[in-house]
A = this chain, B = another copy of it.
Amino acid sequence: MERAIELALEGVGHNAGGPFGAVVVLDGEVIGEAHNEVLSKKDPTAHAEVGAIRAASRHLQSFHLSGAELYTSCEPCPMCLAAAQWARITRIWYAGTRADAARAGFDDDHFYSQLALPAAERQMPAEELLRTAAQPAFEAWLARPDRTVY
């Protein structure tokens, strides 16, 4: 966790992005680390946890990180939490909280509240369109005998 916080400070020092750092650890070894780079990369998805998970996936050459733990200097936003779920991270440790992030001007807590609402009540509308037209893609997937579920 101390390394994750150190990365957060580094990122702020470089004006790379918000004050967030993250480290992925497997069997006591760091296999991926990153700080937030939203500003320097002009990429809204370049959060510390996403960066650390991507680095760890490159390191293991695997889209699954089962058994790995994620240390992050702040409670993950919903994007990063779900990224950890897809990566099958085993456990998350966080230092700052979503309340700390809110005090620093970040919307994590707001987005968690929005996600808990029915889609129709969210600020960002999401509507269904052409559902039937999408079914052949699902059928093509299910028809692949070599499909890998992840």
Indicate the member of A9, A53, A54, A138 with the most B CB atoms within 10 Å.
A138
Instruction: Identify the A interface with B (CB < 8 A).
Output: 1-2, 5, 8-9, 12-13, 15, 17-21, 38-39, 42-45, 50, 53-54, 57-58, 61-65, 71, 73-97, 100-101, 103-107, 111-112, 114-116, 124-131, 133-138, 140-142, 144, 146-150
A19–B136 Cα distance when bound, in Å, is 9
Q: How many monomers of this protein are in the complex?
A: 2
Q: Are A150 and B44 in contact (CB under 8 A)?
A: yes
A126's contact among B44, B75, B87, B136, by CB below 8 Å, is which? Answer: B75
Contacts A82-B79, A150-B38 given: A125-B91 contact, CB under 8 Å?
A: yes
